[in-house]
Amino acid sequence: MARKIAAGNWKMNGTRAALAEVEALVNAHPAPRVGVILCPPATLICAMKAIAGPIAVGGQDCHAEPSGAHTGDISAQQLCDAGASYVILGHSERRADHAETDPQVEAKAQAAWAAGLQAVICIGETETERDAGTTLAVIGEQLSASVPEGATGANTIIAYEPVWAIGTGRTPTLAQIAEVHDFLRAELAERFGADQATEFSLLYGGSVKPSNAAEIFQVANVDGALVGGASLKAADFGPIIAALESI
Ligand code: 13P
């Protein structure tokens, strides 16, 4: 069975003052019955880990190399050393802002595993691709080219994030989410076998809020969420964790 996971992506938000939100979250959820992960900016990983209690900490990207002359980049080993146990890879904002390709994401995932991190690999179609009816083709290609051989439910989480739903307040219909998540499970079964496919946590991401989390979590093959804006405040992220716990 796939682990239920509520993951938060703080993106380029937060300074040390924001750690008060993590304290509040831990106080409200001292023993969550689902996996909870927060991925702050790299500058906060160490300090967040020190106070995060049952909440796991992750990075938002890593370089594919373990070290070297790559100014401004961070290796998977460095994230691990700072206290991370996960790393988000291939987020659509990195694919757009930094022209990251599927093969680069694949190489980063292998680097993450080598450092002992679990990879949270993001895929998702643009609005143009959805309107053109190519959603499943785009997602199938991203999945096969970004997820390396050797992926298991223990080392990899897949996050489906339609680009047009991120930060927009627009979410797909539940049927649209179901269609993609069913497709992902089937694709994983074809590649890794039916038994292994059931072990992958498939997260939905894009405008998840306390008000829509419960209905999204009811969708078959949705094992949790990757949450952006609503993960910044304990008062928003806490109810999303609670909604997942009650499934
Ligand atoms: P929002 O929840 O702010 O739409 O962001 C989703 C996201 O991109 C998480 O990685």
pLDDT of residue 36: 99
How far does residue 1's CA lie from ligand 1's centre (Å)? Answer: 25
| Kind plus residue range of the DSSP H or E element containing 40 | none
Q: Which CATH architecture has domain 5-245?
A: Alpha-Beta Barrel (3.20)
Measuring CA to CA, which residue among 173, 81, 76, 183 is closest to residue 120? 76
- Which of 123, 207, 208, 227 should be mutated for ligand 1, with most atoms under 8 A from CB? 227
| Kind plus residue range of the DSSP H or E element containing 29 | none
How far does residue 13's CA lie from ligand 1's centre (Å)? Answer: 12
Quickly tell me which residue has 């008060």 as its tokens. 20
DSSP 161-213: --GGGTTTS----HHHHHHHHHHHHHHHHHHH-HHHHTTS-EEEESS--HHHH
Ligand 1, residues at Cβ distance < 6 Å: 9, 91, 161, 166-167, 205-208, 226-230
Residues 4-57 pLDDT 10s: 999 999 999 999 999 999 999 999 999 999 999 999 999 999 999 999 999 999
Protein residue closest via CA to atom 2 of ligand 1: 228
Atom of ligand 1 nearest to the CA of 91: 10
244 to 3, 14, 125, 178: CA distances (angstroms)? 11, 25, 25, 17
- Which of 60, 171, 226, 240 should be mutated for ligand 1, with most atoms under 8 A from CB? 226
- The residues, ordered by sequence, that sit 6+ positions from 71 with a Cβ below 8 Å of its Cβ are none
pLDDT of residue 147: 98
Residue among 106, 129, 161, 187 flagged as catalytic: 161
Does the active-site annotation cover 161?
yes
Residues 103-126 pLDDT 10s: 999 999 999 999 999 999 999 999
Averaged pLDDT of the chain? 98
Protein residue closest via CA to atom 1 of ligand 1: 228
Residues 162-172 pLDDT 10s: 999 999 999 99
Output the CA angle 70-75-76, nearest 5 degrees: 165
Phi, psi of 196 (to 5 degrees): -65, -35
